[in-house]
Amino acid sequence: MPRNRDPRALTTSEEDYLKALYLLTEWEDTEVSTGALADQLGLSPASATPMVQKLAAKSLVHHVPRGAITLSETGRREALRMVRRHRLLETFLRDELGYGWDEVHDEAEALEHTVTDRFIDALDQRLGRPQRDPHGDAIPAADGTLPASRAVRLDRFTGGAAIVDRISDEDPDFLRRARDRGLVPGAAIALPHGLDYVDASLVWVRPA
């Protein structure tokens, strides 16, 4: 990632949109509409449309009216820069400040726009260059590369034995329940798992 990036190049809202678009496609090979992007951000589709048009005008996303939205190469780089910030901050909050894994997401959301790339690089070094955040999500390297993953959603897993790879951080209440059941990254999971469909869709596993 570029070291001479002008921090004024993107607004906070633009960074949020790019990160949200990346997250919607990180684990699901699906087309993202303006409505889906707005829902991810807790906004109305009408309010999201002008921002999508603005991002397209800046060549950060590819979009045609009523069509899917995809990140351009530049947009993906900026999205990964924000994902890197967020996940390193989550790791710092847990490892250094004692936050629970159900508490780090909102705090990292508030902090990720306020720190510099230099700070994040120093934080990465201080933490020992972790590859995964508290929920098992991959932390992009400074150049935007990511470790490979073979994980699939638990409700789609057909193997005989599994290891928890990552837990969705969308629902703090589920994170607390998952922790109480021992469903944390790296843990073996007994099959059949006994989770309902919704909870199973929030857990990603790899073959044991």
Report d(CA 41, CA 35) in Å as an integer.
10
Average pLDDT, the chain: 91
d(CA 111, CA 162): 34
Q: At CA 47, angle to CA 44 and CA 51, rounded to 5?
A: 130
The per-residue pLDDT for 193 is: 85
Q: Are 60 and 75 in contact (CB under 8 A)?
A: yes
Residues in Cβ contact with 12 at an 8 Å cutoff, skipping those fewer than 6 apart: 113
pLDDT digits (tens, 9 = 90+) for 106-145: 999 999 999 999 999 999 999 999 999 999 999 999 999 9
What is the value of pTM for the model shown? 0.89
For 170-208, give one letter per residue: b (16+ CB within 10 A) or e: eeeebbeebeeeebbbeeebeeebebeeebbebbbbeee
For residues 92 and 60, give the distance between their C-alpha atoms in angstroms, rounded to a whole number.
29
pLDDT for position 65: 81
**DSSP annotation of 8:** T
Residues 152 and 171: their CA atoms lie apart, in Å, by 19
What pLDDT, on a 0 to 100 scale, did the predictor assign at position 141? 95
Q: Which residues of the chain have pLDDT under 50?
A: 1-5, 7-8
